Amino acid sequence: MAEMSVPQHVGIIMDGNGRWAKKRALPRNFGHKQGAAVFKKTINWARELGIKCVTFYAFSTENWKRPTEEVNGIMNLLRQYIKDIRAAAKEDIRFIFLGDVTALPEDITAELLDIQSSTVNNTGFIAGVALNYGGRDEITRAARILARRVADGEITPESITETSVEELLYTAEMPPLDLIIRPSGEQRLSNFLIWQAAYAEVVFLDVLWPDFTKKHLELAIDEYNNRDRRFGGG
């Protein structure tokens, strides 16, 4: 790939697992398994390209509405990949889990919180994983915290700024979001990092997530470089 500006923080909506499996007359959870394998590869590709942080949209607050068998399959797959996450943590990767992970099965919650705390000092790369996450829920959570602080007399409503909110978001210790990539052909954010996406570039790719490759990541970065980022400056 030609020399170009590399986004420091990329968000990826891992979409298309179910459709990938359906096209092959396979169970949906087989698609999720293939997608999980691409997740691991993408971390390596991102590091090779000089990206410092990638946040993956893995399981939304709305995904609980899916069939119980599918949700249980996703949880079991997450259990399997916790070992891989722990192995990756040894490669100087910090893991940050976005969303209310306490609503996940207790054994998964305990593992994720342990991984997050044990990797807090890793500086080589940040992998954000959004689990039981929703952008509106994230902002609402921050608003509740600020409302309690106002009620307790710790702050005044007039003292609340955008920074006050940003400091309470799950991404508070991540670089600003530069780019969102959504494979699968769908063209919407689906409640993913909606505060952070204010000035991020968005690239939609007509490829299902299990078929996503390093070349697709490079194509998205190429498109990012073709954009004129003005940040509202006209």
Question: Which residues are designated catalytic?
Answer: 15, 63
The upper half-sphere exposure of residue 24, i.e. CA atoms within 13 Å in the direction of its Cβ, equals: 15
Query: What is the C-alpha separation between 186 and 194, in angstroms, rounded?
Result: 16
Phi, psi of 93 (to 5 degrees): -105, 130
- Please check whether residue 131 is in contact with residue 71, taking contact to mean a CB–CB distance below 8 angstroms: no
CA-wise closest residue to 175 among 46, 87, 83? 46
The neighbour count for residue 5, using CB atoms within 10 Å, is 11
